[in-house]
Structure 1
Amino acid sequence: MGASRRFSTAFRGCLMPSKARRTMTAADHLKLAAIGLHVGAAGAIVLHGAVLAGGRQFRAAKQAVWRGLRLLAAVVVLEAAVFSYARLIEPNWIVVRHLQVRHEALAEALGSTRLVHLTDLHTERLGWRERRLVQLANREQPEWIVITGDFVNDAQGWPAALEVIRQLQAARGIVAVPGNTDNHFLTPRQFDEDLQAIGVKVLRNAAVPLGATGAWLVGVDDPVNRQDRLKLALRGVPGSGTSAQPPVILLAHSPDIMPDAVAAEIPLVLVGHTHGGQIGIPWLIRFSSYANRGRHILGGLYHDGPTQLYLNRGIGSKVMPYRLLAPPEITVISFE
């Protein structure tokens, strides 16, 4: 297991507003900034050349202009390469991460159980990435697959998302919770019934035993829009709130659930939502409204008191179809 990070209270509840601003996206601002930079650079080169020419230094002016234009061309080529990578390569480059969770009670109950965690599919169509996702997830031969919301970008992608889920294979079952995008574009009845029809157990503020292991899966509705009811979900766990409570794995769409999970002393929480920042430069800026409001909480393992939280970078993208330095992720979890 890699080193975990403390989930600082400074970042709790600050990941994303309930509704994304739709006036201008991050991509729009980025494009305008790039255009302005190029126009400004070209203008500065020409102006510099004109100044030198006015000073009867024609040859020096000509050389300065050509040097500047060559530099500008190199910058444009580099930008084109980066944008092509972020649009065509990284969004389809699914990384499989194997995570060993150290927790005595979970390890005792689950033994060699392998659990695959998926999140933020944001499915629009059944394309190469979706087929690759199914291939890689099934290759791990997990006992359980858990999916922590945002199956679609809009209602039109729902049939394709269902087809992806239908092709997934887990020996014991597939369990899912909704995300904020799911609740925005699909009714709870449509989401729950369509998934249940293909054999998926939906946990909307509810709990289910992990087979005969003694451990339980608890799932809550979307924390982003404050539809989660963790106390209600835990009522389905025998011995809840007492020393006899069995080990619990909590599924939620957003890390906003962490304070409640810590208060309930839940050992492991699995979430998504941030897309790992989706696109940007670490420690500097992230061009994703899903991460900018808490950019230190992007992906990986965090801990707070008795609770460990794993934040999966997800599969798809939102706002703009790019990923840079945040490749899609499948997480394979085992216990020790």
Structure 2
Amino acid sequence: MGLSTPLVLKPAEVAAIQPGKPGDLVVLDTSWHMPNSPRKAREDFHESHILGSHFLDLDEVASPHPLGLKHMMPAPQVFAEACEKYGIRPDSHVVLYDTHGVFSSPRALYMFRSFGHERSSILDGGFPAWRAANLPTAGGEPALPERSSYPVPALDPEAVVDYEGILVNEGKDPERDPAAFIVLDARSQGRFAGTDPEPRPGLPSGHIPHSFSLPFQAFLNAPSDGQPYATLRTPKDIRSSLEGALPSEHLQAILEGRRPVTASCGSGMTAGILWLGLRSLGAKAAIYDESWTGYAMHKLQEKEHKPQ
């Protein structure tokens, strides 16, 4: 792979990797489904998965959150223990996939890269693309590999934005203050505008002040009859989507590294798709880990405790 590991690999590229010894290549199913979905990711894995892969539950490999939020960025020790469980070494090439095509695997890649594990990629098109290529699959629960040793890594402090950071940014005018970061919201435009309900009961819709709507589908080639799974769009097409969502001066500043950008969504999952698209353009992006669910819950709590 050379010094720089690709963010995205096609099924044939993954199949062509020839590991020299166990742990050189580790493939993980990182599928996740929305709360209102009838599908169960672990059950899907048991039914069928890439031969030799293991299932990484993004809700289990996460730090506890005071608001009860799921799949938050894990503590460094938790991340290291998960790597050891699956035989991952610091020099392992980790390939992450999901059963949608491209949905939750970018969030997993964001986690690995934020902890400095640069030898990590997603499988473009995920498990559906793997099957379409007639590559080997298996069912059941595979035996875990020999446990590895993974030193506790440091988390990139610029990778994760918290609620306090969002509040500080709200006090800045992104049109005039170059220190203000740009917030891109990956949810649907209806949820962003507050006209469609959130999938989580009791949570109001709406958006973070000064944020921009950019539904995550804008960075994906949608499933079609000829290709019934999502894939990541080309950098050129991703840039075109950004041009339609942002003022030109904001986009230019982001691409030149002069303006920070933070991706948000409902719960920090599909924000990973925006993060991946930005990374494919060479831009460094953060994720507001709590995203709209955390933001709205904080606001509801503040309203309840506000003196009358």
Q: TM-score range by the shorter chain?
A: under 0.3
Q: TM-score, normalised by structure 2?
A: 0.26
By percentage of residues, which structure has more strand?
Answer: 1
Based on CA coordinates, which of the two structures has the bigger radius of gyration?
A: 1
